[in-house]
Amino acid sequence: MKNAVILFLFTISLISCSESSLIIDISESKSSLDYRHYEQDLFNINTEDLSGSLDKLAPRYPVFINGNYKDPTKLVQLENYLRNDLNIKLFNDWDSKIGNYNKMKEELNLAFSHYKHYFPDDTLPIVYTYISGINYEEPIVVNKKEILIGIDLFYGEDYEAYNQLQIPKYISKNNKYEYISPVVVRAFAQKKFASCIHGETLLDNMIGLGKLEYFVEAMMPKVMDSIRFQFTTNQMIWCYSHEESFWKHLALKKYLFSKDYRTYKKFIQHGPFVSSLERDSPGRAGIFIGYRIIKDYMDKNPDVSLNELMTNTDFTTIFRDSKYNP
């Protein structure tokens, strides 16, 4: 009976997405990003005339083909990349694992249409996709003008190459194509507001990273929490149903104001679960608490703009003014 009630409450929380104050009219800021798929062009070039082929690609892919790209050493490196068995497999498997970019483009165009609403003077980035060789530590690279997506990091948690490379399951579970858009938006925000996210204590960092999750929600207000957080449905249910007890645990154990990196790692970094909690708890559960603090803060302070929130590094005041009390 208890589980049924929890599931009902979680379902209500998902339905309430459609009534969120973050759902706004974006008709005046509707945008389409510039997408460039490096892997599609690169793996189909004429390798017998690599230098000439690069001349044709360079204007479209300056982020990848730049400088003295005709240097013999660089040409050999590129040949090795194109002949690498893993890279060939990753490219060949693109068709069955991804097939097309329609869903990603639709979601990111919608997200950055929201971004243009909140930040109308900003220039939108160019989005590149490429085969990273499974660089799982950096699936998304954000530069000043570009977003680079290692598309081979989104082939599904059970993709055989991930298992062969012994990537931990708690990492590979994030390698689902359905997660790609919130992962991109979060990485973009993390780069843009890099100096405004981290603080000294666990609570500071929970709030700072909670701002990122709120930003993702603002860009993708109709996307389910479980997709945005990259949690399973059961993990998301756990977060909502254990919010009060988890908060009390953090307070009673005096974790909130800890400056110990091990405490930070335990509650807000990726992991199979939070070691001091139940095995049903998701790694990064502390970020959920930070997000809930930010939600309360923004609900109680409707005049605060998204930019003001994201650039505010006074975590103590944010916490105080949130009146957070789960």
Are 39 and 188 part of one and the same domain? yes
Q: What is the pLDDT of residues 95-125, one digit of tens each?
A: 999 999 999 999 999 999 999 999 999 999 9
Residues 216 and 166 occupy one common structural domain: no
- Answer yes or no: do 48 and 92 share one domain: yes
- No. of helices (H) and no. of strands (E), the chain: 18, 4
Quick one: tokens of 141?
A: 């690279």
Secondary structure (3-state) at 175: coil
- Same domain membership, residue 223 and residue 176: no
> Mean pLDDT across the chain, nearest whole number?
92
Q: How confident is the model at residue 229 (pLDDT cuts 50, 70, 90)?
A: very high
Using the 3D structure, point to which of 138, 167, 192 is the last residue of a domain.
192
The residues facing 129 across adjacent strands are 37, 149
pLDDT band at 270 (very low <50, low <70, confident <90, very high): confident
Are residues 172 and 57 part of one domain? Answer: yes
Distance CA 307, CA 245 (A): 32
Per-residue pLDDT of 61-94, as tens digits, reads 999 999 888 899 999 999 999 999 999 999 999 9
Rounded Cα gap, residues 63 and 149, in angstroms: 12
Closest CA to 217 of 189, 238, 178: 189
> Do residue 72 and residue 209 come from a single domain?
no
6-32 per-position pLDDT tens digit: 555 555 455 445 457 899 999 999 999
In this structure, the answer to whether residues 53 and 128 fall within a common structural domain is yes
Task: Select from 151, 174, 192 the last residue of a domain.
Answer: 192
Q: Are residues 50 and 108 in the same domain?
A: yes
Same-domain status, 145 and 165:
yes
Answer yes or no: do 223 and 309 share one domain: yes
Three-class secondary structure of residue 21 per DSSP: coil
Helix (H, G, I), strand (E, B) or coil at 148: strand
Query: How many domains would you assign to the chain?
Result: 2
Last residue of a domain, one of 192, 207, 235: 192
* Cα 113 from Cα 135, distance rounded (Å): 29
- On whether both 38 and 157 belong to a single domain, the answer is yes
| CA distances for 37 relative to 45, 86, 126, 133, 142, angstroms | 13, 19, 11, 15, 16
Average pLDDT of the segment spanning 123-152: 96
Q: Are residues 44 and 187 in the same domain?
A: yes
Residue 16: what pLDDT? 46
Structural domain harbouring 77: 34-192
N-term to C-term CA, the chain = 22
Longest distance between any two alpha carbons in the chain, whole Å: 69
Distance, CA of 32 to CA of 136 (rounded, Å) = 28
